[in-house]
Structure 1
């Protein structure tokens, strides 16, 4: 599940957020409300006139039988014309209501999707680390689908049904209070039973959502981990685990739908019981001369108008319930605290040095990754950071970019604490080439241009030549217009890495971070990448994180990190002379090469 997101907002707060979203479209909702009311007024008046038409026929037939007259056809035709006109106008307003309600609710869902992606981009890294990819994707797919059904289908139907029930109930009371009272009593007893059942169905739906999210995460893991799964012959186990989750999903969904499916039959039974009671009471009133047959038929028509929306609502209750659970998850996510960025001060230049002074940091309070770290980096220097896995190499760079804030000490640029700068301004000075060569679902040209959105086509080609990518790009039939997916499956690992270097070159950042940029490639490709990196690092302040020590010999300063701090530091020759960690590791790698 989604970690802290499991803290429920509560129905009241969810409703407040929904109404806040609706207020953004106040005029449209007022218009749809007017259309709904006018449509329902037409539907309410028509049965009264229909009852009058029936009475005209009955009274006229009686006159024919006793030879005192005939049916008043002009009055009958006029009444039927008015009935037809009312139904036509009512349908026009009903169409306008449905159209604008669908449009507005679709706009609201668009706003929510926009807010979700904005929230993802503004969360602190600590919150991102806590989230599971599948659970966030589920917000866009499963939860948004449930919310759409609740909004577009259920909410609009619920609103019109509520207005119809109120108007119809008022007219029924004017026709006969006692019959209306009996109907209300039957409906209330039915609703009590349905609400009790809904409490059970909600419990199963929550379990269904939990298992569904787990299955979504598992699909993502299976799809992205195909190489590992197949190389380990793990297909059967992966399938078995997934089938187990899907089986539990199916079990919980069946229980939810089984209980929810009882709503309509119960409401239908209540409706039929109402017709029976009206027939009995109405028959007695007709015999007593207290009501006409036409009025009884009118009341039955209104009873149908009263029961139909109630039955529709019971059908919609599962959708509404699913929508509220989805809204809870979505709005809880949107309520998460965003990354703090209190300063608006811009970093306008980097002229002298970057300094780490007594910096300490841990991802958890009880475990320090960096402890009392000190380092001074002059502008234009190449700093290499090496060490065992988990020693804090990448963490140092994350602290410099303020992806995380340090626990104690300070990091300064030209003597100014980086906490005083706007985070976006600070990061705008830094370019990165990572071990994972992230590409976007776009053309090769646009993937390079992401480094500088204002770059011209000529600048992209120049950067490509510097990064040694121009030759292999032109071998594709579409050249720079070749479409890539996010994994860059049509490219080798080395080609993907070279593209990210071209992107970094065109970004023209003053501070560069190279995190394992030459790992996972063969020796020939490594040499090609190293040439591109050397071109990239010219006149730049560079931080190089590497396992292969052969790639960092020319660094101005090499920092060797151990658990919690610096083991040794110096340039290549100085560290060899110390015959410590660096010396031993380099010899070990040379022996294994």
Structure 2
């Protein structure tokens, strides 16, 4: 995507709130006009008072302070101040409304987009990178819109109006003000460019320090065990020393900006004070107008500095928008939905000459054939990288086959609605996933219309009801974000109960008993057997002792079926499965 296009594309979101945006801009212009009028009105008051007081001192007949005129000017000043405050508050209110509504729509589109992306996308992108696009990138865009949009309008309008006012008051003195503007801008830009590399390095070193602290706190016991406290402390000292040096350089160089800008302003003040003073003495300039010039010099410094600093913010927003729109432009799962899935699915599965490759030219599965009858238990074993998970990914349509076909009850799964098709599956994975909610809601995730009684029955069937009732709050106990307030085995039993509640026709089980004690392993195996009754089941097996009752065991290697059969027949064949089995149970036997 071309960089210049991202802000134009962002307008497609902002334009839905153009009424609020128009009000924000109009009110901001109003507040800028009122702000620029302040020195002029005060100048009129000072000129009037000076003129009247001078006439009274000189003894001019009838000389007096024109209180009505002064009161009128002060009234105008008060009304101006009121409009300024209304404009400032109103512009901030409406820009916040427009920007936050826009960001809400952007986040909503990202959320919906992610749900339509294929699983292959998440296999190719890091979780942290995706999380960053949802959080920090969106927040960067939000801050840029919230802070920069009105500030740019404020800065540009202020500079235009100030130039107009000083030209109106005195064209000769206006030259000093106008010349000071590019000098101020170029000076600020020069200093900003010099400090920017140090701020980037500062961010990197700060990230290194945060990563180091997190890593050492996480592995604190290991550091203590191997006596690495001193080495860890020295490494941390090196990082903090570098951070101190970078912080100093960044702060020192950026800190020069204000003194330099003040020096430019002071020189401009000096010129205007001397030149303007001479003009006042010569009667060519009212003293109030001289005061206005001084205030206008103050007013041009801040907008120029603002415009300089906003350049970096807008560049960051541009980069963040590119990353966000990259996600929104990703290819979605194709909707090839022609056949209707029978509600009374039997669970007959056929792999018919299936080919598959993740990367073009590098086939993983070739001419794979398998016939699974309804209610059968199929165990899949093999070394790492044999293709076990790939087979499940194809069955679930997380990936589509590149050759051949997979059918369920005679339907090519590529012609079925993914949502309807996947609703017939239940999955119990090795990494049990629960989300931050009550236990009851986590179980109901399997079937959203399930009643409380049905949830309890499913928990009883999964041998987890008693455990749940011993927890504080029982079924209403809230799981924390990492689900770390219960054990791994207990989480596994909850996911089995969730699958039972969903009542799927086909099961996929990634055996997850390797990290639990023997008693809990028996409970999980018992719950799994109950779950598999009457259902077609595919079991990725890690412990071969758990699949001895399988109707068919597939031994995979490099995407091919090396052996298949029952546990007894494969042992008798004394092939690859026999070697795997003996490597696990040789000691016991």
- Whether TM-score is above 0.5 comes out as yes
1:383 aligns with 2:375: no
1:534 aligns with 2:534: no
1:372-521 to structure 2, matched below 5 A, reads: 372-521=367-516
2:101 is matched with which residue?
Answer: 107
Contact 1:346-1:425 within 8 A present in 2 as well:
no
Contact 1:443-1:480 within 8 A present in 2 as well:
yes
1:165 is matched with which residue?
Answer: 159
How far is 1:544 from its partner? 0.5
How far is 1:442 from its partner? 1.6
**Greater mean alpha carbon deviation, residues 136-145 or residues 95-104:** 136-145
Give the distance between the partners of 2:222 and 2:431, measured in 1 at CA: 16
1:293-442 to structure 2, matched below 5 A, reads: 293-314=287-308, 319-320=313-314, 322-325=316-319, 327-328=320-321, 330-331=323-324, 333-335=326-328, 337-345=330-338, 347-349=340-342, 350-351=345-346, 353-365=348-360, 367-442=362-437
Give the distance between the partners of 1:261 and 1:436, measured in 2 at CA: 51
Give the distance between the partners of 2:212 and 2:339, measured in 1 at CA: 43
Contact 2:381-2:555 within 8 A present in 1 as well:
yes
1:35 is matched with which residue?
Answer: 27
Taking a change above 3 Å as real, the CA distance of residues 565 and 208 of structure 1, as seen in their structure-2 partners, is farther
1:555 aligns with 2:547: no
Taking a change above 3 Å as real, the CA distance of residues 179 and 157 of structure 1, as seen in their structure-2 partners, is same
Structure 1 residue runs without a partner (length 5+): 1-8
Give the distance between the partners of 2:384 and 2:33, measured in 1 at CA: 73
RMSD over aligned CA atoms reads 3.3
Contact 2:109-2:328 within 8 A present in 1 as well:
no
How far is 1:566 from its partner? 1.0
Give the distance between the partners of 1:217 and 1:330, measured in 2 at CA: 24
How far is 1:464 from its partner? 0.1
Contact 1:346-1:421 within 8 A present in 2 as well:
yes
How far is 1:129 from its partner? 2.6
**Greater mean alpha carbon deviation, residues 199-208 or residues 355-364:** 199-208
**Greater mean alpha carbon deviation, residues 78-87 or residues 514-523:** 514-523
Specify the SS of the correspondent of 1:157. helix
Give the distance between the partners of 1:332 and 1:255, measured in 2 at CA: 36
**Greater mean alpha carbon deviation, residues 549-558 or residues 27-36:** 549-558
**Greater mean alpha carbon deviation, residues 329-338 or residues 480-489:** 329-338
Structure 2 residue runs without a partner (length 5+): none
1:267 aligns with 2:266: no
Give the distance between the partners of 2:437 and 2:272, measured in 1 at CA: 67
Size of the alignment, in residue pairs?
584
How far is 1:467 from its partner? 0.4
Taking a change above 3 Å as real, the CA distance of residues 217 and 416 of structure 1, as seen in their structure-2 partners, is farther
Contact 1:134-1:214 within 8 A present in 2 as well:
no
Contact 2:509-2:539 within 8 A present in 1 as well:
yes
CA offsets per residue over residues 347-377 of structure 1, 9 Å max, x none? 5223463222232334344644323322122
Contact 1:134-1:220 within 8 A present in 2 as well:
no
Specify the SS of the correspondent of 1:84. helix
How far is 1:329 from its partner? 6.2
How far is 1:204 from its partner? 5.0
Give the distance between the partners of 2:238 and 2:135, measured in 1 at CA: 22
Taking a change above 3 Å as real, the CA distance of residues 481 and 564 of structure 1, as seen in their structure-2 partners, is same
How far is 1:589 from its partner? 2.6
Contact 2:120-2:399 within 8 A present in 1 as well:
yes
Give the distance between the partners of 1:206 and 1:355, measured in 2 at CA: 56
Specify the SS of the correspondent of 1:544. strand
- Candidates 268, 284, 293, aligned match of 1:290: 284
Specify the SS of the correspondent of 1:41. helix
1:23 is matched with which residue?
Answer: 15
Give the distance between the partners of 1:497 and 1:323, measured in 2 at CA: 43
Give the distance between the partners of 1:462 and 1:46, measured in 2 at CA: 76
2:174 is matched with which residue?
Answer: 180
1:90 is matched with which residue?
Answer: 84
1:5 is matched with which residue?
Answer: none
How far is 1:141 from its partner? 5.1
CA offsets per residue over residues 63-121 of structure 1, 9 Å max, x none? 21232211211111121122112112211221112233234333334444444444444
Taking a change above 3 Å as real, the CA distance of residues 404 and 188 of structure 1, as seen in their structure-2 partners, is same
How far is 1:126 from its partner? 3.3
CA offsets per residue over residues 382-407 of structure 1, 9 Å max, x none? 11111111111111101111222333
Contact 2:446-2:501 within 8 A present in 1 as well:
yes
Specify the SS of the correspondent of 1:436. coil
